[in-house]
Amino acid sequence: MVFDVILIYLNYLHMKKNWGFAGLFLLLTGCCNSNNINSVTVSELDLNRYIGQWYEIARFDHSFERGLVGCTANYSFKDDGTIRVINAGYKKTLDGTYKESEGKARRPNDAEPGKLEVAFFANFYSDYYVLELDSAYTYALVGSKCDRYLWILSRTPEMDSINLNFVLKRAEERGYDTKKLIWVEQIK
């Protein structure tokens, strides 16, 4: 679990081009709690249907997206069979500085289709668990084995209240504290 946090932070440092704190971070990193959440993933995930653009509706706070609004994730297939990941957003306001980070994703085990891995720095992969996904692939609840990471994604900049309330209920049933969610301002 500490390794996941380290990988996420190294990805953040890669985005910021700031390696000076990497050594210090490795010494200070703590464990995340996985005992209180249900991280069972979806049993079916068709990557051909999952690729494309997703809008970030809400997320837990973390350093690598802090202060970003209008956040999106765009997934596309690469020639080698992995998935190109483009995470983007604007600093502080929708008129703010545009930030983009390119990474890659893979499915390490076809027997667990909802458990993906993402990397934004070399081959240091972190969990990307698709926890909930509707049959039309219009919304997703994404987390990891750690209780510190949670995202609500939608194919549109807004989710209707019925689907949003369902996803929030499912996150709570899994043990996530949804009061910690940050609601992401999106372009309308």
What is the structure's pLDDT at 69? Answer: 98
Domain-wise residue ranges, the chain: 2-183
Q: Which of 36, 12, 29 is nearest to 146 (CA)?
A: 36
Per-residue model confidence (pLDDT) at position 33: 60
| Nearby residues of 177 by Cβ (< 8 Å), 6 or more positions away | none
Residue 60, Cβ density class (10 Å: 0-12 exposed, 13-18 middle, ≥19 buried):
middle
Task: Mark the ranges of the chain whose per-residue pLDDT is less than 50.
Answer: 1-8, 10, 13-31
What was the pLDDT predicted at 18? 41
CATH number for the domain formed by residue range(s) 2-183: 2.40.128.20
What's residue 188's pLDDT?
80
Q: What is the pLDDT of residue 64?
A: 87
3 state SS of 156: coil
Q: Give the three-state DSSP class for 86.
A: strand
DSSP secondary structure string, 161-183? HHHHHHHHHHHHHTT--GGGEEE
pLDDT of residue 157: 98
Beta-carbon count within 10 A of 70 CB: 21
pLDDT number for residue 187: 86
